[in-house]
Structure 1
Amino acid sequence: MSKPFDMELFLACVLTGSHATRQRHLRQATLILVEIADRWQRETPWAWQRKHLVWFLEHRIDRHSRMTRYYYLLTVRLLVRRLQKTWVFNL
């Protein structure tokens, strides 16, 4: 049995801001991880492709408020920065 992925350790080098902001990003990133793992069996962000994050933004949070989608987009951008990819996302 493998250890669960530590999102806090993964994002530690890119997380900035207040404690509440960092906690929100960690909570949202963990939810993104769980949703992508359930849908595509990709257990770590290193295995993600751009289409996985697009799917999350377009289909999993599409009925949330505009502000909630914006906050998830900020979290996605942090994940992309940590993965050192050049992916661009718009809402």
Structure 2
Amino acid sequence: MNKPFDMELFLAGVLTGSHATRQRHLRQAKNIQAEIEQRWQRDTPWDWRRKHVTWFLEHRLNRRSDATRYYYLLTVRLLARRLEKTWVFNL
């Protein structure tokens, strides 16, 4: 049996800021992970491709406010930094 992926441990090296900010990034990263896992069956960020994250930003956040999309974009940038990817997203 596989252990569930620990997003908090994964992001520990790149999370900075206040407690509330860190908690928001963790909550949003878990939401991103759940949506990508449900749609693409990719359960860890190591398995993700840019297209998976782009799909999330474009299709799952399309009815959200600009502020919400912006905060998710910040979380995606943290994920990309942790994965050492040079992904650039334009919203």
Give the residue type in structure 2 aligned to 1:76. Answer: V
Residue 67 of structure 1 aligns with which residue? 67
Q: State the shift of 1:57 in Å.
A: 0.1
Question: What TM-score comes out, normalization by structure 2 length?
Answer: 0.99
Q: Tell me the residue number matched to 1:29.
A: 29
Shift of 1:26: 0.1
Task: Provide structure 1 residue ranges, at least 5 long, that are not aligned to the other structure.
Answer: none
**Equivalent position of 2:82 in the other structure:** 82
Deviation sequence 1:35-75 (CA, Å, 0-9, x none): 00000000100000000000000000110000000000000
Structure 2 segments unaligned to the other structure (5+ residues): none
In 1, Cα distance between the equivalents of 2:76 and 2:90? 11
Cα distance in 2, alignment partners of residues 14 and 80 from structure 1 = 10
The Cα shift of 1:87 comes to 0.7
Corresponding letter in the other structure for 1:68: T
Runs (4+) of structure 1 exceeding 4 A deviation are none
Q: Determine the structure 1 residue equivalent to 2:7.
A: 7
| Identical columns (%) | 78
TM-score (norm 1): 0.99
Q: Could you say what secondary structure the match of 1:15 adopts?
A: coil
Taking only aligned residues, the RMSD between alpha carbons, in angstroms, comes to 0.4
